[in-house]
Amino acid sequence: MNQLLSSVITLRHFTQPQLVGRWHADGAAWKELSAARMPAGEISRGFYTICDDRFIAVAASSEGPLFVIDKAVYPLRLERAKLDLQQERSYNTFSFQWDGETKLMLTYKRKLYHDGKHWLDDKTRDFFAWIVHGVKQKKFYAYYTQ
């Protein structure tokens, strides 16, 4: 059993590093705190965001990266997990499927930057663009495996 699933984890907010989210792995509760009040050693490797009042996170574990949606925890193994980002002019739709079943679908306003030629999704400010891009990289799995 994954050690993360039986503990409390503290993750940094994806776009607001002054905040941390403390999440009880049993799914009982989560709350936001000031990062300045937390000892550095208590902050786990990973990030979270709040979207449509849902706690969504990526956390490192001994078994590799985990994807958290409120109380549910999913190992990010590509043979079972599928993450997708559909881009419209002003909005993105992110979806997460586990074993072919949609577990999360969110539509939100795009966060764009201009690279001199094109407007692109900003993986440094958009949690969902970051995670969809990240799961395609081998180093992502190495970094989020403790």
**Residue ranges in the chain modelled with pLDDT below 70:** 1-6, 25-29, 40, 43, 121-124
pLDDT at 71: 79
76 contact partners, CB below 8 Å, separation of at least 6: 58, 64, 65, 66, 67, 135, 141, 144
Does the predicted model carry a pTM greater than 0.85?
no
Tokens standing for 58? 């990526």
Model pLDDT for residues 43-69, shown as the tens digit of each residue:
678 888 988 888 899 988 888 899 999
